Amino acid sequence: MRGTTRASHTRRTVLRTATAGAAAAAAGTPLLLTAGEASASAASASASAAPDSEATSLQAAFADAAERFAVPLSVLLGVSYLVSRWDGHGGAPSVSGGYGPMHLTDAHTALTRAAEAAAYAATLPQALKGLGGAPIASGAEDPRGDTSRPLPRRSPRAVPERSELPPSLQTLDRAAELTGLDPEELRTSGAANIQGGAALLADAQRALGQPLSADPAAWYGAVAAYAGARTRRAAEVFADDVYAVINAGEERTTAEGERVALEPLAVTPRTATADALGLPRAARDPEVEAPDSVSCEWLPAPYEDLGDGDYGNHDTANRPDSQSIDYIVIHDTEATWETTLDLVQDPTYVSWHYSLRSSDGHIAQHLRTKDVGWHAGNWYVNAKSIGLEHEGFLIEPDAWYTEAMYRTSSRLVRYLCRRFDIPLDRHHIVGHDQVQGPVTSNIPGMHTDPGPYWDWAHYFELLGAPFEPTAGRRARIVTIAPEYDTNTPPFINCGATGNDCAPHGSSAVRLHTAPSHDAPLVRDIGTRPDSDGEATTGVNDVSARASTGTQFAVADREGDWIAIWFLGQKAWFHSPDSAPTAVGSTGRVVTGKAGASTIPVYGRAYPEAGAYPSDIPAQTVSPLVYEIPADQEYVLGLRTPSEYYRAVTYDPDAELGRVVRGEEYYQIQLGHRIGFVRAADVEVRRV
């Protein structure tokens, strides 16, 4: 990507293992100072006065905290980078309830505030509600996305009490004890938060019986403890990534405009210092399908007969022999890690292939990749995809994802894409919010996760496929590519009162009906039929925005503005040379055949009625509500035969349902979501 942030990251891409730390508390070894040490530590912190984040640069705050708590500066910076990339996120919690540059966790506070947000959201008119902050199987969307089967049942969840949360989700309380700082200050002040993180590292080092050494190599065990992992492998992956960052060095300007640098430092960590954590070292289950560079366990989802012709919570298959796997679908769970695992093991709920933990990036696999999960809300996509759920329990949309989870997720996706020959692009690696409703009536209920704050640019850099220009400034195709940290489009309906969302880096680019910020937003009659298609700036309203990495055909240009073909209309976005939000690209587009007036667009690539054998009911093939003039152009994503996977009965002995194939379809970038067109209805051009 462009700019110092992207360039420096690309130059220093870290290739070693990804994410997961181990808390001695989780292993029954509490990370406690003696009473005297704790008192002395708190007194020292109080005597030096509470840090003033507004008056102290972030780089200086790291240096001050490192000196005050006798933690090597490189270790403090390395840990902070892996959990937050040094961002404070304006005091907003991460998806696992972590606050500030050191990701001090206070899940109970985050959950309580999220519950207030949920209560507010319930009061909104249906037209303003977004489903991105809802659990995977909530709202109007059917995660299976197939009317041949009833909607999966729902499992209620309650906000857990503090006593029910593991220590790894309550580290902010411990940091308050160690520093004497107020918990709210630890949540909102970057400098205070850094002191809290330094205190936790020093606390862990002492608990492991290690001196507060100036040598970074001696802190491996304390680093491994930081993220609260529960196995030795998960702890090692997290610590290895921190030391990879230390060795490679990093530098970036945070979303708050703070320049932070960690100079490369050759360190060979003393890995034996993690032995005292006492964490179990379990052998990897042979069912696990994941690279060696991640921590992954096998925790299977149930395939179970529920009676009365119903079953859950997935379908057996034999992919890729039966059908190609064409998609990786990125979700967030809107549930704690424990609840996420409980849900996917509930036969009355739904399923996905992998869950990823936020604090350390640890992975649990629930389905064999050959089988079909119920996760995307579109049976055609489910049958041809692998679903990744990223931990996140905050209905509050202004939540962020840890670097540890980004890195582990990218390693898993890279592995899956190599294995199944899936291209590393946004036609194949899609957000849940890009999955189209199977038919028009489904569109308003489709989910909107992982939302506008998922950093697609950074994610694809970690995948080794950054969004770079492949054509000049006047290209006929553009790839949406804003600079995430400085791209801060305003959103509304955040928080318990529906206030304006705090300024936040975003992957979203807003689309207008004319080349002006004052022009109305483009309409989406499918997503917002109750409002006649009129879009809002709601954080969960995808109607008038394009997402980083998606590609569109250029319809027009005027000054610093570019128009793209979007849902049958011209959609304008601002892309000045000084801060471009798109780059030129090459590729293929589809347009209507000569003599046609419109291009029918579908939500699923199902076969024509004549392709079905007599014993399989033909599935509905009906165009979506969007009217696409035949002379417009839409970027072609992939070419596929139409397919329907028939799996509607419980059969534990069957590995394969029946696949019906028919005429050819093309996937296109229709609007924010994808769509499908019949090959017979369009012409393909390379531009």
What angle is formed at CA 537 by the lines to CA 536 and CA 543, rounded to 5 degrees? 60
In this prediction, residue 164 has a pLDDT band, given cuts at 50, 70 and 90, of confident
497 has a pLDDT exceeding 80 = no
pLDDT tens digits along 415-450? 999 999 999 999 999 999 999 999 999 999 998 888
329 has a pLDDT exceeding 80 = yes
Distance CA 88, CA 187 (A): 9
Backbone phi, psi, residue 179, to 5°: -100, -20
Q: Please count the helices (runs of H) and the strands (runs of E) in the chain.
A: 14, 28
597 has a pLDDT exceeding 80 = yes
Distance CA 493, CA 461 (A): 30
In this prediction, residue 169 has a pLDDT band, given cuts at 50, 70 and 90, of confident
Q: Pick the range with the lowest mean pLDDT from 99-103, 130-134, 135-139, 394-398.
A: 130-134
285 has a pLDDT exceeding 70 = yes
2 has a pLDDT exceeding 50 = no
Inter-residue contact 655 to 647 (CB < 8 Å): no
pLDDT tens digits along 236-247? 999 999 999 999
Structure tokens at 374: 């119920």
Residue 381: name the closest of 90, 79, 665 by CA: 665
pLDDT of residue 122: 58
Per the prediction, the chain carries an average pLDDT of 86
pLDDT of residue 19: 29
Structure tokens at 394: 């905050």
219 has a pLDDT exceeding 90 = yes
Inter-residue contact 467 to 424 (CB < 8 Å): no
pLDDT of residue 157: 56
pLDDT of residue 145: 79
Structure tokens at 283: 């052998």
pLDDT of residue 502: 78
Surface-to-core class of residue 557, CB atoms within 10 Å of its CB (0-12 exposed, 13-18 middle, 19+ buried): middle
Q: Pick the range with the lowest mean pLDDT from 15-19, 123-127, 423-427, 636-640.
A: 15-19
Distance CA 7, CA 555 (A): 30
In this prediction, residue 495 has a pLDDT band, given cuts at 50, 70 and 90, of low
SS (H, E, C) 531-569: HCCCCCCECCCCCCEEECCCEEEEEEEECCEEEEEECCE
pLDDT tens digits along 50-78? 444 444 599 999 999 999 999 999 999 99
DSSP letters, 73-88, are HHHHHHHHHHHHTT--
Residue 436: name the closest of 454, 452, 448, 425 by CA: 448
Check residue 517 and report its DSSP letter: T
What angle is formed at CA 193 by the lines to CA 189 and CA 198, rounded to 5 degrees? 155
pLDDT of residue 160: 75
Q: Is the whole model's pTM more than 0.85, yes or no?
A: yes
pLDDT of residue 127: 39
pLDDT of residue 124: 54
Beta bridge partners of 669: 674
Distance CA 189, CA 276 (A): 33
27 has a pLDDT exceeding 80 = no
33 has a pLDDT exceeding 60 = no
Mean pLDDT of 487-509: 82
Beta bridge partners of 260: 252
Does residue 556 or residue 648 have the better pLDDT?
556
Residue 642: name the closest of 668, 679, 669 by CA: 679
In this prediction, residue 162 has a pLDDT band, given cuts at 50, 70 and 90, of confident
Inter-residue contact 299 to 290 (CB < 8 Å): no
Q: Pick the range with the lowest mean pLDDT from 17-31, 77-91, 122-136, 356-370.
A: 17-31
- To which residue do tokens 């946004």 refer? 426
DSSP letters, 481-508, are ---GGG-----B-BTTTTBPPPP---SE
Does residue 594 or residue 157 have the better pLDDT?
594
Distance CA 316, CA 307 (A): 18
In this prediction, residue 25 has a pLDDT band, given cuts at 50, 70 and 90, of very low
In this prediction, residue 152 has a pLDDT band, given cuts at 50, 70 and 90, of low
Q: Pick the range with the lowest mean pLDDT from 236-240, 307-311, 603-607.
A: 307-311
In this prediction, residue 595 has a pLDDT band, given cuts at 50, 70 and 90, of very high
Mean pLDDT of 182-202: 97
Distance CA 369, CA 387 (A): 9
154 has a pLDDT exceeding 90 = no
Mean pLDDT of 91-119: 83
Q: Quick check: helix, strand or coil at residue 386?
A: strand
560 has a pLDDT exceeding 90 = yes
390 has a pLDDT exceeding 50 = yes
Share of the chain above pLDDT 90, in %: 71
- H or E element: which one contains 225? helix 220-226
Mean pLDDT of 588-606: 97
136 has a pLDDT exceeding 50 = no
Inter-residue contact 31 to 203 (CB < 8 Å): yes
pLDDT of residue 151: 54
SS (H, E, C) 455-474: CHHHHHHHCCCCCCCCCCCC
pLDDT tens digits along 646-676? 998 898 876 667 999 999 999 999 999 999 9
Share of the chain above pLDDT 70, in %: 83
- To which residue do tokens 């499908």 refer? 676
Q: Pick the range with the lowest mean pLDDT from 95-109, 582-596, 603-617.
A: 95-109
Distance CA 519, CA 17 (A): 47
Q: Pick the range with the lowest mean pLDDT from 282-286, 334-338, 343-347, 594-598.
A: 334-338
